[in-house]
Amino acid sequence: MYAVIFVVGVWFLPSTIFGLLFMVGLTILIVLFQYGISPLLIGWLYRIDWIPYEQFVRQFPHLAESLEKVVAYNRIKMPRLGIIHDLNPNAFTYGWTKNSARVVLTDGILKYLNKKEQNAVFSHELGHVVHSDFILMTVVFAIPLLLLSVARWAYYASFFSRGSSRDDEGALLGIALIAIAVLSYLSYYISYLISLIISRIREYYADEHSAEVLEDPNALATGLVKIAYGLLVDGNIEERKKSRVLALRGLGIFDHRAAKGLGIISVGQTGVLSMEAIQKAAAWDLYNPWARYYQVFSTHPLPAKRIMRLNMLCEIYGIKPEIDFSDAKRLKEEQAGKSLWDEFLWDVFIKALPTLVFIALLGLTIVWIFDLVFDAFNVAFLAPVYANMWLVWAIGFYIIGIMTIIKTGYMYKGGFEDKTVLDLVTNVKVSPIRTIPAFLEGKIVGRGIPGYYFSEDMYFQDNTGLMYVDYRFGIGIADLIFALRTVNKLIGQRVRIKGWYRRGPSPYIQVNTIWSESGTRHKNYAKSFRYFWTVLAFILGIGCLYFYFMG
């Protein structure tokens, strides 16, 4: 609807101030509409069990104590409280204002975190409420959208202005509109990145609120270790050596896209806490270049960064930090050497291979067109190339097809071996491109997005921990059918998963095949679908050869 109205507005109000005002007004209306309807949509799309306040107090008195403290101090209305019955540990809050907030926890939070950590996560969410982040972030993210609307209006209006006027004034107006479009696109991109920075800052503020309510930053820090890296630890470091590990997974306290697979690390069969395992898991956040890349485009800081900031707050409260990353660099170097930049650059090169060949072909063609029309270049050694452009494109398409095969083989390696979650999550060198082919055996315990009807992804648990299972095929209707027909049937079943372990930035396994204890087999053809582009490139190459020989 927005796109249709946008096109109509540009068509009937081209290159006029009224057209610009129309586009800006439309964008503001869309933002307000989304702001108004989003809490309703969440209520419809998620299976949330709303709990009356009196019942909440009886069931969770430790949480009610912090809730009453925050509500009384900030003079806000009591939030509506809900539970999602899913073992994916998650927590989130939403609403229109601080006086109409909803705070939701999952069964996973209540089962796997101790009471103090539950309180810390709960207080973090209350921090978003008292800071009015619903309104603030709506405004912050509306600004890039407004700039994008201005850019689109100026771009399309420039065509109408040049086509509707025959004099120099119309041409100048078209150039001016193009300049406005370019500047607006640049401003949009910069403002979008700034809005993500603001979002990450708001998360830090919510962390500080949690520390303030409990007067102990360690509670959230150890909770984040459980959520992000999977260790269930209680009490001080010495007492935690006696703790056993349970499977955990990532909160809505994180960005859903960035936190798609916050993995779980076990302390091993002895039940002895391994700070080394924690630091190996955190080393990816701290030292892998891919982590820096994903941080830039994430609404949430990386878990290790948040824990380090919470450790700094410990000094204010006169408390010793419980999570120590001082040895993470050494552990990373033992596994991956001094730097991971060589692996990162190679991953980027492999990922971009087919695109680089296509860009080279496109650039060569543009040079040829300019030379043909304007005689702008006179490069003798390119003359045979220009005389056989159809042949060049045919060869280029075949190279693209071959490069796609190489890229697919690199991203979807063979040689699958039995692994545990612990084995995978402690690997620092893994990336979204550089994978580990693995078999995992365990149990499906929940949906990837807890309570969400249309989540095709799942949570998997073995005896060392729990990991996000990415079943997304990439075709909407196929994902929807799997989400509605199959996911609920798999939850609670023991399974064997064949897939590729990735991290981007969080750990997850991309499914090739799932075998369930009920005897069903579920195949994912995401890898096979990638060869479609190879076939398409070869077909286009054949077409180019046809025109070459016919010419």
Element containing residue 288 per DSSP (H, E): none
Reading the block at residue 19, the tokens are 């057209």
Which residues on neighbouring strands pair with residue 307, listed in sequence order? none
260 contacts 448 by C-beta, under 8 angstroms = yes
Distances (CA, A) of 148 to 32, 195, 282: 17, 14, 36
Cα 29 to chain centroid distance, Å, stands at 27
Alpha-carbon torsion angle 386, 391, 396, 402, nearest 10: -160
Q: Count Cβ atoms below 10 Å from residue 7 Cβ, excluding itself.
A: 12
> How many whole angstroms separate alpha carbon 197 and alpha carbon 295?
9
Name the active-site residue from 125, 208, 343, 456.
125
Q: What is the DSSP string of 231-272?
A: ----SSHHHHTTPPP------TTS-TTTTTT-------TT--
Give every CB contact of residue 433 below 8 A, 6+ residues apart in sequence: 347, 348, 350, 351, 410, 411
Q: What is the DSSP string of 97-131?
A: SGGG-EEEEEHHHHHHS-HHHHHHHHHHHHHHHHT
Q: Tell me the residue type at 39.
A: P
Q: Tell me the residue type at 491.
A: I
> How many whole angstroms separate alpha carbon 396 and alpha carbon 360?
9
The question of whether 65 is a catalytic residue gets the answer: no
Catalytic residues: 125
